[in-house]
Structure 1
Amino acid sequence: MKETEKTLVFNKLLDQYQYLGLTEEFIDEEADFTIHNLKDIHQVIPYQSPVYRTNFFSFVFVKDGSGKYTTDELVFEIRPGTIYFTNPGHFKSYEWRTLEEVYLVTLSESFLKENVHADIFDEFPFLLAETVPPRVIKPDVFTEFEQLYQQINRAYFSRSVYKNRIIGNLFVVLLLRIKECFWKDYNPIYEGNRSSQIVKNFKKLLEKHYRQLASGEAQMMFRVQDYADAQHLHPNYLNNVIKSKTGKAIGTWISEKTIAEAKSMLQNSAISIKEVAYRLGFSESANFSNYFKKHTGFSPVFYRKQQSGTTS
């Protein structure tokens, strides 16, 4: 698919459903995690979506449904027993010819890191893969997945104060089963495609560098030039490849990664905000606070209090 000015970009599933005129009542406006049966959303079948991009991860479990989905130039048929997932940045569209029981899970990188696994992409590297083909799972194996996502569904709609932790732990099990089913004999669809390899290398370096910042092994945030030097590329060329393949410029990837790491540290550690700023490469905590507020609308102090439940 070629990018056009009409390509839609959605940061949250709620934004997507609102734009497409789909049912929104099952989507929590504040949540970075959603799960629901698509039959409750699509009142009219068959349905054909427009081309769009999302800035969140999607996992689809097809117990009873048929259609197809497209990611970039690749088209995949969907039939009962299909499981597939997509990560942020790709051109996507989908078509449902029949739809009875198909569960969609969406979640942000922040949710993954805060509630599933702090080193999520080390433990589950397939989440960063360019494109992973769907798998049609044997009925008995699919039943195991069904039991997991139904448990997650019940937790999501519960009122438990531990809801996110329960979801996070169940999702670890779900990802381990996906890893077992999808990753053992994985071969990249775009093997040999230079642009796709550049994107994969960039994502891996981005993740590695922010781990080093968080652990204190690195003190300065990489610039575009640093990411380009790592692959012996001109920075303009690298930025063009990243933007054309993912829909986001390198600067956007860096800022989103910085905020995701900042949120994780503010929520999951007791280190001072000054130390968080230092670990993320900011020379002054005031600069970090301004940066964080610009991208989230909250100060780091307020965000930490909000996550700990101490705001009045």
Structure 2
Amino acid sequence: MEDLNFESNSLLELYNHLNLSVNLIDAAEGFSIFNLKDIGFKLPYQSTSYRPNFFSFLFIKDGIGHYTIDEHTFEVKPHSVYFTNPSNYRTFGWDKIEEIYLITFDETFLKKYISKEIFDDFPFLLTEKIKPKMVTDEFYHKAEYIYLQIQSEYTSNSPEKYKIIGHLLAVLFYKIKEYFWQDYDPIYEGNRSSQIVKSFKQLLEKHYRDLSSNKIETVFRVQDYANAQNLHPNYLSSVIKTKTGKPIATWIAEKTISEAKSLLKNSSISIKEITYKLGFSETAHFSNYFKKHTHTTPVQYRRELKKNI
């Protein structure tokens, strides 16, 4: 039976799953660009549901279709630009394809060939403003000039082609940022990204309450927090870091230490019991974790508390 909720780490995986041609996809560096007309879609085309772990830009010069994400359907028309990032499940469909260039890339490619601080330089990559943007002829011609250069490099045999593509893609990002998101700051975005952070914080608090009350016994990983919101862990981590300034691992560690200190201070239960309450399998593991983040052991911390009573 076909998986109706397919999770795809690359465009190659997605197109294989959808039984589409993959001849134009070079999976070596997590980047691809081509005209959708060359894929040979049988129109009208409708995809099944999938969740990508990659970013994509569509430059629609001549074509008609639609994308549906979170039950919101967006019409894609000529002279529009559409951006999507790793987030929730979606589907797409095409009624007409004449000239539609698709560019896809993953986070690894961005950090390798553009900047390790890619989301600081281009925070709009985390935006949830997913409605296709209609653009002026002037802007489209500028963007077209750049993406056709990128496509030319992609099909070349140059050993430096991905470095060149990285530079050209950065130029395209700057143009898009200037045109669409000059004043965009995800810290102040009041829509889905803010809700992602809010939901994560709420789940973090609830999870540790459940651990402390013995309702559950397992510490959540980033994957678990991502699954709770139907997000990819990389995307969740990026949103949390960009909007709060603090990595998701730090949020989890700080909450673990806070709960540990509370239990050491306000209860008489043994360190072994605290170990299990916080989801650690061994006391030594918990002790090392606590010392790493506080520079003292649980035993020493409790001893110091007693001295000050």
Question: TM range, normalised to the smaller chain?
Answer: 0.5 to 0.7
* Secondary structure in 2 matching 1:234: helix
**1:57-72 correspondence to structure 2 within 5 Å:** 57-72=55-70
Letter paired with 1:84: Y
Take 1:64 and 1:34, find their aligned partners in 2: how far apart are those partners? 20
**1:1-312 correspondence to structure 2 within 5 Å:** 6-184=4-182, 196-200=193-197, 228=201, 233-235=205-207, 242-248=226-232
The 1:107/1:253 distance shift into structure 2, 3 A limit, reads: same
RMSD (Å) for aligned C-alpha atoms = 3.3
Letter paired with 1:233: E
Contact 2:153 2:161 in 1 (8 A): yes
Structure 1: gaps (5+ residues)? 203-226, 258-282, 284-312
After TM superposition, the score normalised by the length of structure 2 is: 0.64
Deviation by residue 1:119-158 (Cα, 9 ceiling, x = unmatched): 1000100111233322111112101100100000011111
Deviation by residue 1:190-228 (Cα, 9 ceiling, x = unmatched): x755x64142579xxxxxxxxxxxxxxxxxxxxxxxx74
After TM superposition, the score normalised by the length of structure 1 is: 0.64
Aligned length in residues: 225
Contact 1:53 1:91 in 2 (8 A): yes
The 1:75/1:244 distance shift into structure 2, 3 A limit, reads: farther
Q: CA deviation at 1:31?
A: 3.0
Letter paired with 2:152: R
Q: CA deviation at 1:71?
A: 1.8
Of structures 1 and 2, the larger Rg is shown by 2
Contact 2:45 2:93 in 1 (8 A): yes
Contact 1:36 1:103 in 2 (8 A): yes
Contact 2:58 2:100 in 1 (8 A): yes
Q: CA deviation at 1:100?
A: 0.3
Contact 1:28 1:34 in 2 (8 A): yes
Aligned to 1:212: none
Percentage identity across aligned positions? 40
Aligned to 1:222: none
Structure 2: gaps (5+ residues)? 211-219, 242-287, 289-309
Letter paired with 2:227: K
Take 2:150 and 2:235, find their aligned partners in 1: how far apart are those partners? 34
The 1:250/1:59 distance shift into structure 2, 3 A limit, reads: closer
Take 1:251 and 1:87, find their aligned partners in 2: how far apart are those partners? 8
Take 1:252 and 1:69, find their aligned partners in 2: how far apart are those partners? 22
* Secondary structure in 1 matching 2:20: coil
Q: CA deviation at 1:76?
A: 1.0
